[in-house]
Amino acid sequence: MFKNVIVRIPSPSISEGITSADEGKPIYEKALVQHENYVSALTKTGVNVTVLGPVEEFPDSCFVEDVALCTSKCAIITRPGAETRREEAALPDMIAALKKFYDVIEYIEAPGTIEAGDIMMVGDHFYIGESARTNAEGARQMIAILEKHGLSGQVVQMSEMLHLKTGLAYLENNNLLVAGEFKTAAEFEKFNRVEVEMKEAYGANCIWMNGYVLVPEGYPNVQEKIEALGYKVLVVDTSEYRKIDGGLSCLSLRF
């Protein structure tokens, strides 16, 4: 069960966020409303939400998931692969927020790069995607830290998706949403794989929260498949975040 969530309000500079999508720039006012609705949905799942203020100099800083991995034993501050985001991981308010919940905070060091959007937690085991943002050294350091604390990790090679969780979502109870290259990945054969077609691939980035599943708005087939598994669904519009390669999981740290 998740008890706590950390989010960061987007700043007006969100329109300058990193993107590979060809969908125009996010509209700040709309992004703000969507963020408020996201927080409201999280609150419905029974968690305590810590809200950090906007940071104008980092357009992508609302995507807090990438800068830390929150485990049952420790928090691990990452070293983002996107250079414009690297200093986000050291923002004092984020470190202070994590210290309220964790006695132990670990750090990934150069030349390792890793973004937690590339890490999927399944119990005490962590799947780590080696991507354009997460290199082999970052993954090696992360696994070493996890093992030091009695947890485990393994590397997943990937070539198509931006982040591992761009195409995967673990919904607990052995249920795993899979899209794109992960449909045939050997690492996930033991799961009950719920396949998401490419036209709804963005919808694969859902988050399980205490029996609920937050699903992005506009992906009816994904929603239907999740409801068929017996989960309570909360639909959240993230269209402004999609414009800068962000999804539901990117917008929060959950622990």
Q: What is the DSSP letter of 165?
A: G
Read off the amino acid at residue 235.
V
What beta strand segments (E) does the chain contain? Answer: 4-8, 48-52, 68-70, 75-77, 105-107, 119-122, 125-130, 152-157, 168-170, 175-179, 192-196, 207-209, 212-216, 232-236, 253-254
The DSSP secondary structure of 6-18, one letter per residue, reads EEE---GGGGG--
**How many whole angstroms separate alpha carbon 180 and alpha carbon 236?**
22
Active site members: 163, 250
